[in-house]
Structure 1
Amino acid sequence: MFRYHTVPVTPFAQNATLVWDDATLQAAVIDPGGDLDRLLAEAQRLGLQLEQIWLTHAHIDHAGGAGELARTLGLPIVGPHPGDQFWIDALPEQSRMFGFPAAEAFTPTRWLADGDMVQIGGCTLQVRHCPGHTPGHVVFHSPQAQRAFVGDVLFAGSIGRTDFPQGNHAQLIDSIVTRLWPMGDDTVFIPGHGPESSFGRERRSNPYVGGT
């Protein structure tokens, strides 16, 4: 069975998420932006064997700890899409700009594209490329669990910012409507910040995308 546990990290309260196969306790961490000691302590508390790092995009609060975690534990970094290479290259500068601990640039072990799959234990998630917040943003979707990990594409009552370099508002709305909504109204999504919601609730009430 697919399980997950969210741990807010960094001063931006970014939702880093441990995901695992309950049968094997093999786990991945989505968006380890920082506070690695807390994330590793939670993985240990849950009895998980951390095996992969999955990234939705490469902003500092999502990817700031990925390079160090990969280097110290020998883990592969999976994602995001190659469109975020320039954000990865800028991680050291991003960390200085926002007052974060020094972040390492890295080359992902595996880039992701729309339609790819990622797997942890016996659990497989679908990858959708959802540009707009960043050009290389991806989301991870488990149809069986009716859960989606959407990074900063969509929030409860809001959407991702598009005023960063290579952000695109029209592209973000298109990603939400054409890539997220087809996952189904009952799908619960875990955003990069704030509480969970469902796609159905956001379609009905989100002022930025309601009625789309």
Structure 2
Amino acid sequence: MSLQYQVVPVTSFSQNCSIVWCDETMQGIVIDPGGDVKQLAALISELGVNVDKLVLTHGHLDHVGGTEPLAQQLGDIDIIGPHKDDSFWLEGLEGQSQMFGFPLTTAFEPTQWLEEGDKIEFGHQVLDVFHTPGHTPGHVILYSESAKLAFVGDVLFNGSIGRTDFPQGDFNTLIASIKNKLWPLGNDVRFVPGHGPESTFGRERASNPFVADEMPLY
């Protein structure tokens, strides 16, 4: 048994939405359903995944814009995350929609806020939750120890890091989140960022101009 996933770029921001599932039970989750709900629903059906919850890394529109419609389409399933410090982002979704020219997205509150140390379970798979503020104050990442795989939202990218010029963003806090929460998970950990191609923590430590720490590249 193992964790499987498929990344689907959605919205005009090419945000990486991830369908993640246990290949033994076909139970799964969707991480950051930012939009293109019909496309996501069709792919979930095609893959044969039984999605029982939607999980949000943070409250920005391009990551959460399709959440409520997809939850309803899949049978009114639970919406989990992000950390409650991002509640102001979810409360301001209507304003975000107007600002970025997105379809109107109304404010919502998740079924459950996430905390450091929480676990997301589906089938025989478990994702550990880490609170990683900086890009937004309530950002979380999700980590599979068995698969050595992390879903990091907009904390870290291949060759870059998340923006910190949004309300309640903070550069030093973001760098601390990356170095204190992500790096200890291991250099061999692959990660799916919120935008762009995958990478590994080791490669970013060796070459990312924002967070490289002179670690030799293996």
TM-score normalized by the length of structure 2: 0.95
For residues 209 and 7 of structure 1, the distance between their equivalents in structure 2, rounded to whole angstroms, comes to 27
Q: For residue 88 of structure 1, what is the aligned residue in structure 2?
A: 90
Once the two structures are superposed, what CA deviation does each residue of 1:27-48 show, in whole Å capped at 9, x if it has no partner? 1100000001111111111111
For residues 10 and 96 of structure 1, the distance between their equivalents in structure 2, rounded to whole angstroms, comes to 15
For residues 108 and 61 of structure 2, the distance between their equivalents in structure 1, rounded to whole angstroms, comes to 13
Q: For residue 183 of structure 1, what is the aligned residue in structure 2?
A: 185
Q: For residue 50 of structure 1, what is the aligned residue in structure 2?
A: 51
Shift of 1:20: 0.5
Runs of 4+ in 1 over 6 A off after TM superposition: none
Q: What is the letter of the counterpart of residue 76 of structure 1?
A: D
Shift of 1:81: 0.1
Stretches of structure 1 that go unaligned for 5 or more consecutive residues are none
Does 1:199 pair with 2:201? yes
Q: For residue 172 of structure 2, what is the aligned residue in structure 1?
A: 170
| Equivalent residues in 2 for 1:149-160, closer than 5 Å | 149-160=151-162
Which one is further off, 99-108 or 32-41?
Answer: 99-108
Provide the aligned C-alpha RMSD in A: 0.9
Once the two structures are superposed, what CA deviation does each residue of 1:167-211 show, in whole Å capped at 9, x if it has no partner? 000000000000000110000000000000000000000000001
Once the two structures are superposed, what CA deviation does each residue of 1:73-117 show, in whole Å capped at 9, x if it has no partner? 301001000000000001111111101111121111111011111
Matched residues, number: 212
For residues 49 and 143 of structure 1, the distance between their equivalents in structure 2, rounded to whole angstroms, comes to 22
TM-score normalized by the length of structure 1: 0.98
Q: For residue 35 of structure 1, what is the aligned residue in structure 2?
A: 36
Contact 2:97–2:104 (CA under 8 A) maintained in structure 1 = yes
For residues 113 and 206 of structure 1, the distance between their equivalents in structure 2, rounded to whole angstroms, comes to 28
Q: For residue 2 of structure 1, what is the aligned residue in structure 2?
A: 3
Q: For residue 71 of structure 2, what is the aligned residue in structure 1?
A: 70
Stretches of structure 2 that go unaligned for 5 or more consecutive residues are none
Question: Identity of paired residues, percent?
Answer: 55
Q: For residue 121 of structure 2, what is the aligned residue in structure 1?
A: 119
